[in-house]
Amino acid sequence: MESSSLISFSLIFCFILFSLASNGVEARRPPSISYLISEGLFDSIFLHKDDNACPARNFYTYESFVQATKCFPKFGNTGNLATRKREIAAFLAQISHETTGGWATAPDGPYAWGLCFKEEVRPQSNYCDSTNKQWPCYPGKSYKGRGPIQLSWNYNYGPAGKALGFDGLRNPQIVANNSLIAFKTALWFWMTEQKPKPSCHDVMVGKYVPTEADLAANRTAGYGLVTNIINGGLECGIANDGRVNDRIGYFQRYAQLFNVDTGPNLDCENQKSF
């Protein structure tokens, strides 16, 4: 559970973001994400997340998702209506792949099983990069994948915690124990530029400007570039990669539910990773 001090920090953090979003002209908040994704649509997207077979049963709630988006007022609120819907669909598709419990012959299809897991089940290591001195690992802690985006490595837990008001290095397990924080970490990763990578948000809303290195690596704007940002080192530059295809399958299903097209460049098989 969140401590009272953490709740207070989160409220202050969100208030500051709302103030910045107004650009000093208006004091009104941006519209809630719920005007684009109702609870009914959310439930139809994640048909099986609360099944007994899913370890994250009853963890990823609609209320936590909506509350978390309030700390990132540009998410789902940038561009025209189609762009806003497409970004939300892309975000939900990527977190669905990261937490999928689906399989080829699963009930309702393989793309109806997002948000089934809240942490990595059999991590290959404790995901500690001991060479990173800015965000040093805390003894005995694992920085394995947790939450909707499967936040991994000390160099992600540290800055995520600093931005969101929890100690990501000393208490990384909170991402798998607190639904609101879990969604916030996923949105933090989505919205935050980590050079040389652009933010996933900028890519999906048309604000990505490729560098010379990007052009040489064929990193073209589209959903495939988002996959490259998230896990390009393992998945991109490979023809017909099953993991990439799974991400695309989720996106195509969700885009249809949002009644919006996916846009071009869905895969990253011809892109070099960052």
Position 27 scores a pLDDT of 40
Asked if residue 101 and residue 42 are part of one domain, the reply reads yes
- Structural domain that includes position 7: 1-30
Phi, psi of 146 (to 5 degrees): -145, 150
Asked if residue 149 and residue 13 are part of one domain, the reply reads no
184 occurs within a structural domain: no
Which pLDDT tens digit goes with each residue over 203-245?
999 999 999 999 999 999 999 999 999 999 999 999 999 999 9
Q: Which of 72, 68, 49, 74 is nearest to 59 (CA)?
A: 49
Position 120 scores a pLDDT of 97
98 is catalytic: yes
Which of 179, 214, 230 is the last residue in one of the domains? Answer: 179
187 occurs within a structural domain: no
Instruction: Using a pLDDT cut of 70, give the percent of the chain over it.
Output: 89
Asked if residue 104 and residue 64 are part of one domain, the reply reads yes
Asked if residue 140 and residue 11 are part of one domain, the reply reads no
188 occurs within a structural domain: no
Residue 132, both tokens: 């990173």
185 occurs within a structural domain: no
Which pLDDT tens digit goes with each residue over 27-77?
455 678 999 999 999 999 999 999 999 999 999 999 999 999 999 999 999
135 occurs within a structural domain: yes
Q: Is the pLDDT of residue 7 over 50?
A: no
Mean pLDDT over 102-127 rounds to 97
Asked if residue 111 and residue 68 are part of one domain, the reply reads yes
Asked if residue 113 and residue 47 are part of one domain, the reply reads yes
CATH number at residue 169: 3.30.20.10
Position 209 scores a pLDDT of 97
- Domain count within the chain: 3
Catalytic pick among 39, 63, 87, 98: 98
Asked if residue 204 and residue 75 are part of one domain, the reply reads yes
Asked if residue 123 and residue 113 are part of one domain, the reply reads no
70 occurs within a structural domain: yes
Residue 103, both tokens: 């399989």
Position 1 scores a pLDDT of 35
Position 210 scores a pLDDT of 97
268 occurs within a structural domain: yes
Position 3 scores a pLDDT of 37
Asked if residue 149 and residue 92 are part of one domain, the reply reads no
Position 31 scores a pLDDT of 74
Q: Which of 26, 27, 25 is nearest to 15 (CA)?
A: 27
- H helix and E strand count, the chain: 10, 0
Which of 179, 205, 229 is the last residue in one of the domains? Answer: 179
Asked if residue 273 and residue 248 are part of one domain, the reply reads yes
CATH number at residue 201: 1.10.530.10
Position 32 scores a pLDDT of 84
Asked if residue 233 and residue 200 are part of one domain, the reply reads yes
